[in-house]
Amino acid sequence: MKKALLVIMIIALAVSAFAMGAKEATGTAPAGAAPIKIGATWPLADITGKQGSMAAQQAVDEINAAGGVLGRKLELIVVDDELKADKGAAAIEKLVTVDNVDLLIGGMASGVALGQIPVMKKYAKVVISTGAASYKVEEGLGAEADWYFHLHPWDYNQGQSYADGWEAIQKKFGNVKIQKIFLAYEEGAFGKASFDASKTLFGGRYTFDGAPFKSAAFGGGDYASVLEAAKKYGPDLFLWAGYDADALPMLEQAKAMKFNPGIYLGAPPGWPADFGKSPLAENVMLYGMWAPSINGVSPASKKFYDGFMAKYNTEPATYFAPLSYSAVYIAADAIKRAGSTDTAALIKALAATNYASPLGQTITFTPSNIIKHQGVKNQKILQWQKGRQEVIWPFESATAAPVYPFPAWK
Amino acid sequence: MKLKSSYIVVAVLSVIAIAFPAFLGAYPLNVARSIMTYMALAISWDMLLRSGQISFGIAGLFGLGSYASALAVLRGGMDPMLSIVFAAAFAGVMAYALGFAILRLRSMYFSITTLALMEIFRIVMHNLHDFSGGPEGVVLPSVIFKGASPALYWLCLAGLFLTIGVSWFFEKSKMHLALTAIRNDETSARSSGVNIFNYLLIAFVITSVLQGMMGAIQVQSYGFTTPDTAFDANFTLLPLAMALLGGIHSTIGPMAGAVLLGVASEWLKLKIPYGHLVVYGIIIILVILFMPQGLFGLARKARRERSKAGASHE
Amino acid sequence: MANKRNAAIFAALIVAAVAGILVWRPTVIIYGLQAAGLYASIAIPMGLILGIVHIVNLAHGEFMMVAAYLTYMVCTALGIDPFVAMIPVALVTALVGFIVYKLTIRQALKAPELNQLILTFGLAISLTQLANLLFTSQTRKMSFGYVSASLSIGELSFGVYNFVFVAIAVLMVIGLRLFLTRTTAGKAALAVGQNPKGAAIVGIDVDKTYGLVFALATGMVGMMGAIFITRSSIFPAVGSPFTMKSFCLIAMAGIGNIPGILGASVLLGISENFLKAFRETRGWADIVFFVLIITVILGRSIKGKKA
């Protein structure tokens, strides 16, 4: 009897503490001057989500300092998705039902987005997604999800843009010749999706092969066998799709094995701190969406970069920072044009977005394979030159010409 | 008398639990689902632990159930509700087959083997691209009950009730004596006529059925799974931690532990966006250090001391 | 007795396999041994703790991670090489290990063994997340030219630096053997590992021995952390996968059998790289690890029953 009573007490205490916590977080504001609430989920323990949330807050502060939107202030409410589908789904439930946010932004991992989609569908609030590249997410959304505005390119968009990019580069720079492509991909969902997308897109035009490896991010980090396979294949373009933890060790291993492709290119979501300082980094190419060098060609990028440095005193390390910053500006701009936060009006206004983003390109929403509102469709091809990431392609935001071929190991 | 009053408490508690959707919003219900899932896993793990066998394979059976259910719906066109039953049965059959080999192992070797089996399941799902979707996993056409919060909550609650029921049956029946006898002294249990292997096999199969069932409920509630989601090591480690923090060898202990850690994790996250997991880890350390018998063990001890004190006063 | 026979069968199998593969695919042996060296040198300190203190230290990889960050800070601040920094870092991690032992693990020794497991699980979470707060999840890596040291034999060019880990693993085994059989403290540790109650009766300070062994093992893993950063990027979660791998290797070797860890690592390293060498089996390289563990454990249990 007492046993049971004790348990009841524990549960009751816990539940009430929890309920109080949830309420407290909501806060109360007078109805008239109520801020426009933007709910966001990111993995806050990861550098992508951490800096994404920081950049979004920066945008909110900038907009509020300039008078807010429709005479109201913006308020950003961020909940950690902990890189877990169930936590991410619960976060959306909280933002929508407890905090009563007007719209949602954020997101990074596809695995979390898949768990969030059923909840998002239930409420059909406007979502401006900064992550989730997997085509599975698009399948999960379906064609009906007109409230879903996907900023980040899908995996097949990225593949297509690389195919376009290499075509353009070879046309413009006659010395660049690509016939054989080899992709070393991390064995998880990210790498496998890259491989599938590349195989279809590169398959006809080039000879293409690939092999998986276990990323150092998950306890792997042994690249000997995959590099062995690549070396045997003898590619003009060697490409690896993994994580920042793989960047330098793989280069070191390639050097040790005297593997010397014409182009050595990496496509991780972010790069290690101070990668540019390593002597091996010179002339490594990369796929990405943003680099500090874009400040030179895009005023929006410079404004973002300077603001971020001034506010946080650290350099944005991944493109999730400018992407999340863009999400807030796109939302604010659409609310202004819609004249309200009503979902139907907001969807209409968002669909007409034309935003000169810090990514060095103008963002509009056009249909992709399934959904109606896809934002950025291309990635950029960049190259490490003298410790900096310089944009090679697209040429309109290029900051340098390519150095080709990748220099022989000394 | 004592028995009756505890029945009343259980009934009241169950009614409250069933009625939660009437006065709680979608968010608490979602959190509750996650806590209940871990709770059921913690209880089922504890059920096998009562025989002294420490399984590190919870995530393996959970993931197996997830995939069995998802693939039954996707590839076999099975009804989602039926697929949960199928997944539970599938986990049970697998456990039965594997149990013949691995239940002969003891202590750490049993634990390691269950852990290795979990990894093998994960890698198989990872590599069977065409059948299981490979590393990108599978997406179901829709979530069960169209994602209605109360319905999903009740489904999960049903799974939890079943687990609690079986666990209580274990506690009250001959199973209890047999498992405890095995744990305390295997040799004497054998000599006193307990068929050790049969009891272990029954316990292993039943707990696996429950874990597979929870996995199936999870996958139907979220509408997708990937090898990394289904076989997440947290589905092994957190239930273990919950059971220990609450107090092992009981049904109520793991329940209390699940509520403690589940609520703490969600609450801390809202209070400390950056770095809440540091505090979470410290909570685990402190509870283990200062309540080595778990919350429930501490309560038991306090009650014993109080009744002792009361007796001496008289 | 059964252990020795096992070891002999192992050895014979390995020699036969190595000879065969060396002719057919030399890189399998080269990279297999390099991988084995890394596995073993991380697993051996954990095996020491498990064999003597009888604790499954789930924070094992995290101690290595802490040491790796410590080395990174020392090396970037002072501009020294990790091979120089490893000695002070090992001493500091040993001290940290000792303090952690005194403050937490010692308090839980009397509790059931599962408590110690979950205690170290809590430690692992706290350490990882603390590192995440301090350094973020962005990875760091220092560049050293010698890591790319290369050897060419005919057509074949391969990295030789990773053989360093083979040397470390062998040195660890020899060093531990000398320590456990030649020194008073080591003999006491061995006695405590075999029978703590008996050791206490003959006057050995069990608590002190546990503390010493724990500090020694964390010191060793600290040294590994220092050298680890030459080869690998570091980030808060870098250590945790190695905890499970180490645990599996120890179970495969049999608890308390430290030289056996070396054998188990070689077997796994070579088998993994064998599968990785072929297109069809590449994706399945991970599975061999777990299949071998189960086979060895089950095989030993059946044999034990017969004997």
> Would you call A406 helix, strand, or coil by DSSP?
coil
Nearest to A14 among B224, B252, B259 (CB): B259
Question: Chain C residue closest to B274 (CA)?
Answer: C133
Pairwise CB contact (< 8 Å): A256 & C159: yes
pLDDT (mean) for C148-173: 92
Residue B299, pLDDT > 90, answer no
Q: How far is it, in rounded angstroms, from Cα A12 to Cα A396?
A: 61
Asked whether the beta carbons of C273 and C26 are under 8 A apart, the reply is no
**Coil, helix or strand for A132?**
coil
Tens-digit pLDDT profile for residues B39-58: 999 999 999 999 999 999 99
In three-state secondary structure terms, C100 is helix
Residue of C nearest to B273 (CA): C133
Residue A263 sits in the same domain as residue A384: yes
Q: How far apart are CA A161 and CA C96, in angstroms?
A: 51
* Calpha distance B79→B84 (Å, rounded): 9
What mean pLDDT is predicted for residues A120-139? 95
E strand residue ranges, chain B = 138-139, 224-225
Contact C126, A231 (CB under 8 A): no
Average pLDDT rounded to a whole number, residues A44-50:
94
The whole-angstrom distance between B254's CA and the closest CA on chain A is 11
A56 domain residue, yes or no: yes
Mutate to test the interface with C, among A53, A222, A231 (most CBs of C within 10 A): A222
- The whole-angstrom distance between A344's CA and the closest CA on chain B is 22
Q: How far is CA B59 from the centre of its chain?
A: 10
Give a yes or no: residue A301 inside a domain: yes
Quick check: A259 pLDDT over 70? yes
Residue C214 has pLDDT above 50, yes or no: yes
Across C37-49, average pLDDT: 96
Q: A254 with A107, same domain?
A: no
Same domain, A54 and A165: no
Considering only alpha carbons, which residue of chain A is nearest residue C229?
A249
Q: How far apart are CA B110 and CA A337, in angstroms?
A: 64
Express each pLDDT in C264-296 by its tens digit: 999 999 899 989 988 888 888 889 889 998 998
Q: How far apart are CA A277 and CA A281, in angstroms?
A: 7
Residues A130 and A270 placed together within one structural domain of the fold:
no
Number of domains chain A contains: 2
Name the band, by pLDDT with cuts 50, 70 and 90, for residue A21.
Answer: very low
Same domain for A393 and A245, yes or no, is: yes
Residues A163 and A148 in one domain: no
Kindly report the length of chain B.
314
Does A4 have pLDDT greater than 70? no
Collapsing DSSP to helix, strand or coil, A149 comes out as strand
Is residue B175 within 8 Å of B55, Cβ to Cβ? no
Q: Is 80 exceeded by the pLDDT of residue A13?
A: no
Query: Could you tell me the pLDDT band of residue C223, with boundaries at 50, 70 and 90?
Result: very high
Q: How far is CA C193 from CA A37, A337, C49, C53, C190, in A?
A: 61, 74, 9, 6, 5
For an interface test with A, give the residue of B27, B38, B280 to mutate (most A CBs within 10 A).
Answer: B27
Q: What is the ipTM metric for this complex? A: 0.91
Task: Check residue C14 and give its pLDDT.
Answer: 72
Interchain CB distance below 8 Å, B284 and C133: no
For residue A136, being part of any structural domain is answered with yes
Burial letters A354-366, b for 16+ CB under 10 A, else e: ebebbbbbebebe
Distance, first Cα to last Cα, chain A: 78
Q: How far apart are CA A338 and CA A69, in angstroms?
A: 11
Q: Are A44 and B273 in contact (CB < 8 Å)?
A: yes
- The pLDDT-based confidence of C64 (bands split at 50, 70, 90) is very high
How many residues would you count in chain A?
Answer: 410
Q: How far apart are CA A344 and CA A342, in angstroms?
A: 6
Q: Encoding tokens for residue B310? A: 């009361």
pLDDT single digits (tens) B131-165: 999 999 999 998 999 989 999 999 999 999 999 99
DSSP B59-122: HHHHHHHHHHHHHHHHHH---HHHHHHHHHHHHHHHHHHHHHHHTT--HHHHHHHHHHHHHHHH
Among A340-344, B207-211, B309-313, where is mean pLDDT lowest?
B309-313
Q: Does B120 touch chain C (CB under 8 A)?
A: yes
Mean pLDDT of A185-204: 87
A116 domain-assigned = yes
CATH number, residue A340: 3.40.50.2300
Q: What residue in A sits closest to B7 (Cα-Cα)?
A: A1
Tell me what pLDDT residue A25 has. Answer: 45
Choice between B50 and B296, residue whose per-residue pLDDT is larger: B50
B73-113 pLDDT, tens digit per residue, is 999 999 999 999 999 999 999 999 999 999 989 888 999 99
Torsion region of B195: left, alpha or beta (phi above 0 gives left; psi -120 to 50 gives alpha): beta
Residue A23 lies in a domain: no
Residue A113 lies in a domain: yes
pLDDT in tens, C68-84: 999 999 999 999 999 99
CA dihedral B20, B23, B24, B25 (to 10 degrees): 130
What pLDDT, on the 0 to 100 scale, is given for residue B157? 97
Q: What is the pLDDT of residues B239-292, one digit of tens each?
A: 999 999 999 999 999 999 999 999 999 999 999 998 899 999 999 999 999 988
What digits encode the pLDDT tens for the residues A305-345? 999 999 999 999 999 999 999 999 999 999 999 999 999 99
CB contact under 8 A, C150 and A257: yes
- Please report the number of interchain residue pairs, chain B to chain C, with beta-carbon separation below 8 angstroms: 117
CB burial readout A233-243, b (16+ within 10 A) else e: bebbbbbbbbb
SS3 content of chain B, % helix, strand, coil (to 5): 85, 0, 15
Interface of B with A in 23-82 (CB under 8 A): 25-31, 33-34, 37
Q: How far is B151 from chain A (nearest CA, A)?
A: 13
Q: Which of A318, A297, A315 is nearest to A392 (CA)?
A: A297
pLDDT of residue C307: 53
- Is A284 domain-assigned? yes
Q: Are residues A162 and A279 in the same domain?
A: yes
- Please check whether residue A85 lies inside any domain of the structure: yes
Residues of C in contact with A191 (CB under 8 A): none
pLDDT(A11) > 80: no
Find all residues with CB under 8 Å of C3, minimum gap 6, and list them.
C254, C257, C260
- Helices C60-78 and C240-253, packing angle to 10 deg: 130
**Same domain for A309 and A280?**
no
The nearest alpha carbon in chain C to A209 belongs to C279
Give me the helix-helix angle, A320-338 and A343-351, nearest 10°: 120
Taking an 8 Å cut-off on Cβ atoms, the answer to whether A89 and B277 are in contact is no
- Are residue A243 and residue A204 in the same domain, yes or no? yes
Strand B138-139 versus strand B224-225 pairing type: antiparallel
| Cβ–Cβ below 8 Å for A217 and C160 | no
Residues of chain C above pLDDT 70, percent: 98
Whole-angstrom distance, CA of residue C99 vs CA of residue A225 = 41
Q: Are residues A72 and A85 in the same domain?
A: yes
- Residues of A with Cβ-Cβ distance to B296 under 8 angstroms: 3, 7
Residue C51 and residue C256 in contact, taking contact as beta carbons nearer than 8 Å:
yes
CB-CB under 8 Å, B25 with A140: no
pLDDT in tens, B177-198: 889 988 888 878 888 777 888 9
Question: Which ranges in A73-154 belong to alpha helices (H)?
Answer: 85-93, 110-123, 135-141
Taking CB atoms and an 8 Å limit, are C111 and B292 in contact across chains?
Answer: yes
Shared-domain flag, residues A267 and A332? no
A142 and A268 assigned to the same domain: no
Spell out which residues of chain B touch residue C132, defining contact as CB-CB under 8 Å: 275, 277
Instruction: Indicate whether A17 pLDDT > 70.
Output: no
- Domain limits for position A339: 34-153+297-363
- pTM recorded for the entire structure: 0.92
CB-based contacts of A294, cutoff 8 Å, min separation 6: A301, A358, A359, A360, A391, A397, A399
